[in-house]
Amino acid sequence: MRRNLVIGNWKMHGDIQRNQLLLEKIVDGLRELNHADYVVCVPNIYIFQARALLENTNIAWGGQNVNQFEEGAFTGAIAPHMLTDLGCTYVILGHSERRNLFFETNLTAAARFDAAIRAGLTPVFCVGETLEEHEAGLTEVIVASQMDAVMATLSDADFAKAMAVNMVFAYEPVWAIGTGKTATPQQAQSVHQFIRHRIARRNPDAAAKVRIIYGGSVKAHNAADLFAMPDVDGGLIGGASLLADEFIAICQAANSVASSTCLMELT
């Protein structure tokens, strides 16, 4: 049985005062929701603040990216052990904004994935096609190449490590991020199922266990329908994670929609 997972990706938003208000409201709103997992990924500089306000709650915190090196002369970079030092348990990797605006590639994303699992962090590995690729019917080709970039680099021992830290995949169609255009539940389901089959080629047991969450304009009004899909195990939430009421409502949807218990048919 997979538990739903909701992750707020604050991106480059917030300040000490607003963060405090938002986190306090979220802590309050999620207190009784025990049937799913909740995470907020805040800007690195506010991880201390997140830890102070989220310790001993049912909300975990994480980073929005991490470097692949353990330490050294890498100005501006954050190493995996720095995130774990501050109690982070999750890290988002390969987000399309990192790929498109900061020139990260499948190769660097895969190296960071490896570094994250070695440090014991749960990687949330983002994949997804652009609008042009979507319109050209290339969704599965693109998603497969992004998935394979990671899967191919993992030895069997690393794959076991990735399972031990409960690796997560996030399907985030780039055309849906921050645009207000959401994939339909059926579109999301179809790509999530494709991703699960891709993992199953490596390890069918793992495929049934890995959580695959959807991101791209998830809001309070569409979350329940998305999360009701059998292979959609929650959401990666950008804009709506900055609004306490919206985020709480999305978490409530994840909490009340039981995640899929049935194993998909592996053909």
Q: Which residues bind ligand PGA (CB under 6 A)?
A: 9, 172, 177-178, 215-218, 236-240
**Smallest distance from the beta carbon of 138 to ligand PGA, in angstroms?**
20
Which token pair is 63?
């980073």
Our answer to whether residue 70 is catalytic in this structure is no
Cα→Cα distances 219→90, 176, 211, 238, Å? 22, 12, 20, 9
**Smallest distance from the beta carbon of 217 to ligand PGA, in angstroms?**
4
Name residue 203's amino acid: N
Write down the residue that tokens 């607003």 correspond to. 18
Q: Which residue of the set 97, 104, 129, 172 is catalytic?
A: 172
Q: In the chain, what is the straight-line distance between the N-terminal and C-terminal CA atoms, in Å? A: 20
Our answer to whether residue 221 is catalytic in this structure is no
Residue number, 178 or 221, with CB nearest to ligand PGA: 178
**Smallest distance from the beta carbon of 66 to ligand PGA, in angstroms?**
16
Residue nearest ligand PGA by beta-carbon distance: 238
Is residue 237 within a helix (H) or strand (E), and if so which, with residue range? strand 234-237
Q: How far is CA 254 from the centre of its chain?
A: 14
**Smallest distance from the beta carbon of 216 to ligand PGA, in angstroms?**
5
Give 18's contacts (C-beta < 8 A, 6+ positions apart).
Answer: none
Q: Where are the alpha helices (DSSP H) in 94-231?
A: 96-101, 106-118, 131-135, 139-151, 156-164, 185-202, 204-209, 223-227
**Smallest distance from the beta carbon of 8 to ligand PGA, in angstroms?**
9
Residue number, 73 or 101, with CB nearest to ligand PGA: 101
Cross-strand partners of 168: 124, 211
Residue 261: how many CB atoms within 10 A of its CB?
8
Residue number, 94 or 238, with CB nearest to ligand PGA: 238
Residue number, 123 or 216, with CB nearest to ligand PGA: 216
Q: Which residue of the set 95, 129, 134, 246 is catalytic?
A: 95
8 A C-beta contact, residue 14 and residue 42? yes
Residue number, 200 or 238, with CB nearest to ligand PGA: 238
Q: Which residues are catalytic?
A: 95, 172
